[in-house]
Amino acid sequence: MFFQSWRDVLSERFQLEAINLPGREMRMTEPMPQTMGALVEEVFARIVESLEPDPRPVLMFGHSFGGLLAYEVLRLFSERGVRHPVAFCVSAHCAPMFRTPVGALHRLDDDSLVSVLQRFDGVPQELRDNKEFLAMCLPVIRGDLQLDYASPLRTNNKIDQPILIVAGRDDHVAPLEFMRGWESMTSDHRQFISFPGHHFYLLAQLKSVMAELERFSERVFKKN
């Protein structure tokens, strides 16, 4: 659901394909993989399957935990030596040589975790009061946070793709100086952009972010 509104904003030149992970939406009843490696393998297989019949260039986008997941998937593409996405956009996740300065959020109790998410503009008040919604979503959020926190730090594992780095200027989960670390994680071009807002700045800045994403993609796609 996070990406559905993108289709109304992206130009017709771009096709959006959102990867639905276990525990979410149509896969709500499926358990989340217990390790980052297993989740990376699953996403990798999905992307390989979609790339095989389609010659068009692909950019991978990941927000928050999805940013780290996308990076690990791109590393796997390099290791396997198969056709891969040609660009990467990471949003609101610290570079992989850093842990988030807010600590191990997955260890918080439900009320404390919801309070933290609300402080970062991630849970509107009307949803915070919806106990059924929280009971459905919190285990998924906690699982993402746990996998993220347990992932190994990486300093020299560069990817080959150019990177667009997008950050919220008041994001305490992924502060600007921690986002800047992504600039050293590619052997290709990198671009850093920040927008007003907290960890979920994207909700309010969607049109502006998509405009930058399209411009970045067009420059990269012309070379491929």
Instruction: For residue range 144-190, list pLDDT tens digits in order.
Output: 999 999 999 998 899 999 999 999 999 999 999 999 999 999 999 99
Tell me how far apart the alpha carbons of residues 145 and 143 are, in angstroms, rounded to a whole number: 5
30 dihedral zone (left: phi>0; alpha: psi -120 to 50; beta):
beta
pLDDT for position 18: 86
Q: What is residue 217's DSSP assignment?
A: H
Residue 218 CB partners (closer than 8 Å, separation 6+) = none
pLDDT for position 183: 97
pLDDT score of 3 more than 80: no
pLDDT for position 123: 61
The 10s digit of each residue's pLDDT in 6-50 is 888 898 889 888 888 876 666 667 777 889 999 999 999 999 988
Which pair of structure tokens corresponds to residue 154?
């990486």
**H or E segment at 222?**
none
Return the percentage of the chain with pLDDT > 90, whole number.
55
pLDDT for position 127: 61
Tell me how far apart the alpha carbons of residues 64 and 172 are, in angstroms, rounded to a whole number: 12
Choice among 41-50, 112-121, 136-145, 212-221 with the minimum mean pLDDT: 112-121
Q: Is the pTM of this model over 0.85?
A: yes
Radius of gyration over every alpha carbon of the chain, rounded to an integer in angstroms: 17
Return the percentage of the chain with pLDDT > 70, whole number.
92
Q: Residue 79 — very low, low, confident or very high, per pLDDT cuts 50/70/90?
A: very high
Which pair of structure tokens corresponds to residue 211?
């405009």
Mean pLDDT of the chain: 88
Q: In the chain, where are the structural domains located? A: 37-100+155-222
Q: Residue 52 — very low, low, confident or very high, per pLDDT cuts 50/70/90?
A: confident
| C-alpha dihedral sign at 214, 215, 220, 221 | positive
pLDDT for position 104: 84
Q: Residue 134 — very low, low, confident or very high, per pLDDT cuts 50/70/90?
A: confident
pLDDT for position 208: 96
The architecture CATH gives domain 37-100+155-222: 3-Layer(aba) Sandwich (3.40)
